[in-house]
Structure 1
């Protein structure tokens, strides 16, 4: 798992441990690690513990539209930290951040922008 710098850590804001994510999703922490390996979630090591941005969990499921966006970002060559910075950095054309747009059910629009990054 990736360790991140303080700026990215602060940009994301609220984090959940793998155990907390598992509890919300109704799965084990090992399944959370599998979701990270499968690019359905992003996880990083913070203070020695695997953590996932709280914004990636909506109720008892992974935020709708997030896995597809993570796949596009990975295909564009974004590593974990770069993807987190992109998702949590304000974009005036959305408006707001890409993760806020995904949460507002505008994932297709976000994925289009992500795909354009590859060109």
Structure 2
């Protein structure tokens, strides 16, 4: 879990309880997903939140997110750094890595993550 300064206020977030509801899982399972690197969370205004873009239209975790998180964690990046990278514009994609994941371009995102991590 990270501090409030990790992401801009314009990045939409969901409280962990809402993520649990959308995933049809208990809150404890969402915390486990964060520990396992399938999701990332941080604190905003004292509440633990998850970026809304981490869930797709079908209320599932966006394909490729967990693999990207794993590659970057293995490369020594902190969760704060990973969150910032996922939401930073990248002209070579184009757009942000998380937008590319949501658009189904997870292989391109993972390649960039691998290049950064090693």
Q: Aligned-pair distance for 1:46?
A: 1.4
State the TM-score, normalizing by the size of structure 1: 0.92
* 1:28 aligns to 2:34 (yes or no): no
Q: Aligned-pair distance for 1:118?
A: 2.2
Instruction: Determine the C-alpha separation between the residues in 2 that align with 1:77 and 1:91.
Output: 21
SS at match of 1:117: helix
Q: How does 1:1-119 map to 2 (within 5 A)?
A: 1-5=1-5, 8-10=6-8, 13-58=11-56, 59-119=58-118
Q: Answer whether contact 1:11 1:89 (CA < 8 A) is retained.
A: no
Quick check: 108-117 or 9-18, which moved more? 9-18
- Structure 1 consecutive aligned stretches of length 4 or more whose deviation exceeds 6 Å: none
State the TM-score, normalizing by the size of structure 2: 0.93
Q: Aligned-pair distance for 1:11?
A: 6.4
Q: Aligned-pair distance for 1:12?
A: 6.0
Give aligned pairs, total.
117
**Backbone CA RMSD of aligned residues:** 1.3
In proportion to residue count, which structure has more strand?
Answer: 1
